[in-house]
């Protein structure tokens, strides 16, 4: 059953396992137009862990951060009633759109829901979500969300004129599907240098948007969608470039026949 509140939908399976937030702006996302890709995204969102945890997998300790879970193709195929081929195709779509990332070893894969912290945190609501893992993993993961005192942090940062490191890096991760850490000192020094030159948060967002529109579909240049390049000494010249057409507008599901699942942004 879905409960609407403050422009979001709370999904609840009727059990005491908690809930996750799904924002209405998903209606404008390309994946909403493909039911199987949307189903896979919701599966990932619901299985993602609410807080960092260590798990035992075949005698090996695996550390998972918030928004991550261990993914098994066979189990997901059975749960979603979707072929393994289709699963792989739609995982690629989620990755291309910067919605999830996948880290694969010879034993298992870890799926990360990008920007999980940004969308699942709230200043005015409290909730809990039961974490899940796949295959042989078993654990009891009952969590209670702790509200952060963001007003104090924002107030202190304003007085010190500190750049919004976390918000900038989160936006970059959300746009590119990567997992840069805002705590990395090199990134902080680069951002701080531009901040001292008078750059503001919207300038950082703008340069990300501009270069993403130019490099997102170029395999060689995609690697340069990183803090040290985007926010380096050339940031001024980048800001004077124009945003090109959305590289994922009218995105076609990989492996499908032309015209069958054509996304429109």
- pLDDT tens string 236-263: 999 999 887 665 554 444 334 443 333 3
137 alpha-carbon distance from chain centroid: 24
> 24 and 8 in contact (C-beta within 8 Å)?
yes
- Of the candidates 171, 237, 179, which has an alpha carbon nearest to the alpha carbon of residue 209? 171
Query: Which helix or strand (DSSP H or E) is residue 55 part of?
Result: strand 53-57
> 83 and 45 in contact (C-beta within 8 Å)?
no
pLDDT digits (tens, 9 = 90+) for 171-222: 898 888 788 898 899 999 999 999 999 999 999 999 999 998 888 877 788 8
Q: For residue 41, give the 3-state DSSP assignment.
A: helix
- CATH 1.10.10.10 domain span(s) along the chain: 2-120
- Residue 18's pLDDT band, with cuts at 50, 70 and 90, is confident
**Rounded Cα gap, residues 148 and 234, in angstroms:** 36
**Rounded Cα gap, residues 165 and 180, in angstroms:** 11
List CB contacts of 134: < 8 A, sequence separation 6 or more.
47, 69, 70, 71, 72, 75, 76, 108
User: Hey, CA dihedral for 231, 148, 99, 84, is it positive or negative?
Assistant: positive
**Rounded Cα gap, residues 131 and 54, in angstroms:** 11
Classify domain 2-120 at the CATH class level. mainly alpha
**Rounded Cα gap, residues 151 and 77, in angstroms:** 44
Mean per-residue pLDDT over the chain, rounded: 75
Model pLDDT, residue 127:
42
- Of the candidates 139, 143, 121, which has an alpha carbon nearest to the alpha carbon of residue 130? 143
Residue 196 has a CB neighbour count (10 Å cut-off) of: 10
The C-alpha angle with vertex 50 and arms to 127 and 201, in degrees rounded to 5, equals 90
Cα–Cα separations (whole angstroms), residue 96 to 119, 145, 172: 19, 30, 14
- Whether the predicted model's global pTM rises above the 0.95 cut: no
Residue 180 is encoded by which pair of tokens? Answer: 């840069």
Residue 203 is encoded by which pair of tokens? Answer: 């300038």
Model pLDDT, residue 245:
66
- Residue 19's pLDDT band, with cuts at 50, 70 and 90, is confident
């Amino acid at each position: 059953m879905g409960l609407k509140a403050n422009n979001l939908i709370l999904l609840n399976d009727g059990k005491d396992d908690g809930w996750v937030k799904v924002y209405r702006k998903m209606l404008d996302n390309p994946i909403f137009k493909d039911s199987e890709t949307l189903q896979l995204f919701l599966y990932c969102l619901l299985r993602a862990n609410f807080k960092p945890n260590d798990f035992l997998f075949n005698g090996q300790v695996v550390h998972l951060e918030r928004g991550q879970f261990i993914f098994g193709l066979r189990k997901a195929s059975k749960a979603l009633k979707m072929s393994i081929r289709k699963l792989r195709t739609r995982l690629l779509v989620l990755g291309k759109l910067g919605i999830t990332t996948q880290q694969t070893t010879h034993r298992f894969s870890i799926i990360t829901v990008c920007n999980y912290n940004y969308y699942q945190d709230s200043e005015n609501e409290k909730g809990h979500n039961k974490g899940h893992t796949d295959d042989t993993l078993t654990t009891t993961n009952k969590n209670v969300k702790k509200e952060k005192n963001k007003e104090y942090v924002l107030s202190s940062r304003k007085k010190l004129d500190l750049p919004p490191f976390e918000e900038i890096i989160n936006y970059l991760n959300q746009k590119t599907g990567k997992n840069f850490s805002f705590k990395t000192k090199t990134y902080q020094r680069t951002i701080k240098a531009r901040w001292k030159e008078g750059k503001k948060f919207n300038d950082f967002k703008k340069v990300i948007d501009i270069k993403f529109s130019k490099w997102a579909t170029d395999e060689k240049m995609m690697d340069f969608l990183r803090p040290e390049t985007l926010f380096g000494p050339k940031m001024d010249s980048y800001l004077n470039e124009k945003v090109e057409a959305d590289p994922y507008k009218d995105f076609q599901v990989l492996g499908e026949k032309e015209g069958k699942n054509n996304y429109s942004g």
